[in-house]
Amino acid sequence: MTLDNLLLMVPFTALVGGLIMAFYRLLIGPSLADRVVAMDLMAAMAISIIAFFAIVTDEAVLLDVVAVVALTSFLGTIAFAYYIEVRKT
């Protein structure tokens, strides 16, 4: 393992660790709002992992995937926020 590979594995491992912790919060979240925030965080982590992989492999087409996932995640978060607001009343 070269130093370059080691330096690439450190941020990737941190992103995957954050994704696992967010998934844990998604499973045990005491309220629906906690679960929505955890799902949004998981989407942000997935976007970061895909973008990191696109930069490392020099694949520009993956950045289109990042844009689609980001827009879908944003719309999903807005939909859940609307659902939580409507459910209160």
- pLDDT band at residue 68 under the 50/70/90 scheme: very high
Q: How far is CA 21 from CA 34, 45, 88, in A?
A: 13, 11, 28
**Global confidence as pTM:** 0.86
Q: What is the mean pLDDT of residues 55-66?
A: 93
Per-residue pLDDT at 89 exceeds 70:
no
